[in-house]
Amino acid sequence: MMARIFLFLGLSFAMLFAAGAIEGEVEKQSLNMSAIVMFLLFVGGTLGITYWAAKRTKTAKDFYTAGGGITGFQNGMAIAGDYMSAASFLGISGLVYLKGYDGLIYSIGFLVGWPIILFLIAEQLRNLGKYTFADVASYRLRQTPIRTLAASGSIATVILYLIAQMVGSGKLIQLLFGLNYEIAVILVGVLMILYVTFGGMLATTWVQIIKAFLLLSGATFMAIAVMAHYDFSFGALFATATEMKGIEIMSPGGLVSDPISAISLAVALMFGTAGLPHILMRFFTVGDAKEARKSVFYATGFIGYFYILTFIIGFGAIVMVFKNPEYLDLAKQAIDGGSPILGGNNMAAIHLSHAVGGDFFLGFISAVAFATILAVVSGLTLAGASAVSHDLYASVIMKGKADGMKEMRVSKIATVVLGIVAIAMGIMFEKQNIAFVVGLAFAIAASANFPILFLSMYWKKLTTRGAVIGGSLGLATAVLLVILGPIVWVQILGNEEAIFPYKYPALFSVTVSFVGIWFFSITDKSDDAKKEMEAYEAQFVRSQTGIGAEGAVDH
């Protein structure tokens, strides 16, 4: 039955592409057969993995954590896969292309959260949790309110992130393959539903690993090709780049202008990373704390290496794509002047792949970009579905009495629903300005998810009341300040001046959250609060030693 579904879908996709390809040819872009062939190979291969994974995914534990048998190296690669989204590949290289040094500032912010995750939460998370980070947050607190809040934070983060990925993917695919936007979004949604519902965490993990490998190889090749042009001299590369774009690309520009914004962005990126549900969930796929630590070590290495590559790629695009008549958007130039490139600045890396490797390599990088989107949305959806099934259904509604099979079924239904929501949102937001959504996702993760998780591990006096009130205040503050800030209030709603002057609310919303949790915990004199504090000791022993932790590999 399943094999037949896969066969049918495979054929339909092949037909879709054939149609799209013809359309593309008729329009203007040269038909890129290699992109389509490589993309079909990736989809075919990953559906094969999904089929294999489906046969091994029998229990809820398999579904949520791939049975807990992923190694540290594999998980490190998969975490890197989760984190190196198409937004960071195309977006950061595009930012470097546009502003030079500012792109590097951004990527450093995205990286430095990782060591902190390792030092302070990775192993404790592994020792205390089972499937979701809410397991840890609610370990000694009241299940219903804490799980509800944690699940809301997770689902909000996941949906916002999904919107950004879906809209980005629709536009990217439209540009690369000449497919219609709606079809592209539906295609991504359907593939993701297949990976997650049938293959669960095992398929999702392997899709991430393959994609991370392809992305790192492709980016390495591009960076080497660029450097080879300049005899591997950075000085020569930068010299040519400044001749084309001016000396200011070598220094910090206007990305972070005032100290408050700078610190607020830093807080959002650091604590936000440590509060992303799809990232936190990855720590439950390894057997023990040792493997959890290794995961972060490898992930930090891969991600850091990747950011160095994107920096070189951005500069490569300045010297090889900028002002190159082949990539010039003539229509746009006629209106706005300057030297705009086809598809906008975020296409810099894609055009560079063509400049260094011709049609074949362009095809490869396009297929990798698409694979990246698929992998990231799968990880996100799995995390969102787990919040629904494990936190809301099994713990809040069934009070922990749901059986594994039923819970897994709810999870699959939630996956399908989230997939449909993602498709609908992707189509709805096509023409909207979505610049704020990833920032908002990070702000929510940093202000609602992270403080509760962190304090539940380290602060004995945390009580349910404190966590719920403080976490909700943090969440509300983050959302409110984003709405009142310059992006939504001025750029989207068209008001004259922002009520809240900063683009990044995290500094304020995280502070509100921590202070709120602290205040409403220490003033909580209830009997429950006393019990919760007493339970800290046993939790602390387990978090430090792993005694009693959800078993390592059990088969």
Partner 1 sequence: MEQSVVDKVKNDPNFKTLVSERSKFAWKLTIAMLVVYFSFILTIAFNPSALGAPLGDDTVTTVGIPVGIVIIIFAFILTGIYVRRANTEFDDLTAKIKENAKGE
Positions touching partner 1 (CB under 8 A) are: 101, 104-105, 107-109, 111-112, 114-116, 118-120, 123, 234-235, 238-239, 242, 247, 250-252, 256-259, 261-263, 265-266, 270, 289-290, 293-294, 296-297, 300-301, 304, 307-308, 311, 537-538, 541-542, 544-548
- What's the one-letter identity of residue 219? A
CB of 245 to partner 1, least distance (A): 11
CB of 148 to partner 1, least distance (A): 26
C-beta closer to partner 1: residue 257 or 526: 257
C-beta closer to partner 1: residue 274 or 355: 274
C-beta closer to partner 1: residue 384 or 546: 546
C-beta closer to partner 1: residue 122 or 321: 122
CB of 472 to partner 1, least distance (A): 27
The two three-digit tokens of residue 543, written as one number: 């978090």
CB of 75 to partner 1, least distance (A): 13
- Of 338, 288, 1, 343, the C-alpha closest to 128 is 288
C-beta closer to partner 1: residue 254 or 338: 254
Residues 72-92 as b/e (b if ≥16 CB within 10 A, e otherwise) read bebbbbbbbbbbbbbbbbbbb
C-beta closer to partner 1: residue 103 or 485: 103
- Full DSSP string of 280-296: HHGGGGBSSHHHHHHHH
C-beta closer to partner 1: residue 240 or 324: 240
C-beta closer to partner 1: residue 326 or 537: 537
Cα–Cα distance, 332 to 339 (Å, whole number): 9
Q: Would you tell me how many other CB atoms lie within 10 Å of the CB of residue 145?
A: 18
C-beta closer to partner 1: residue 433 or 544: 544
- Full DSSP string of 397-437: ISTT---HHHHHHHHHHHHHHHHHHHHHHHHHTTTS--TTH
**Residue with the two structure tokens 């976490």:** 471
Cα–Cα distance, 19 to 167 (Å, whole number): 22
Cα–Cα distance, 478 to 511 (Å, whole number): 11
Cα torsion angle, 392, 394, 396, 397, sign: positive
CB of 288 to partner 1, least distance (A): 9
CB of 242 to partner 1, least distance (A): 5
What is the DSSP code (8-state) at residue 388?
Answer: I
C-beta closer to partner 1: residue 30 or 251: 251
Cα–Cα distance, 334 to 35 (Å, whole number): 30
CB of 549 to partner 1, least distance (A): 10
- Of 83, 4, 182, 62, the C-alpha closest to 438 is 83
Cα–Cα distance, 389 to 408 (Å, whole number): 7
CB of 23 to partner 1, least distance (A): 42
CB of 296 to partner 1, least distance (A): 6
Listed in sequence order, the residues at least 6 apart from 111 whose beta carbon sits closer than 8 Å to its beta carbon are: 300, 303, 304, 307
CB of 205 to partner 1, least distance (A): 21
Cα–Cα distance, 105 to 503 (Å, whole number): 16
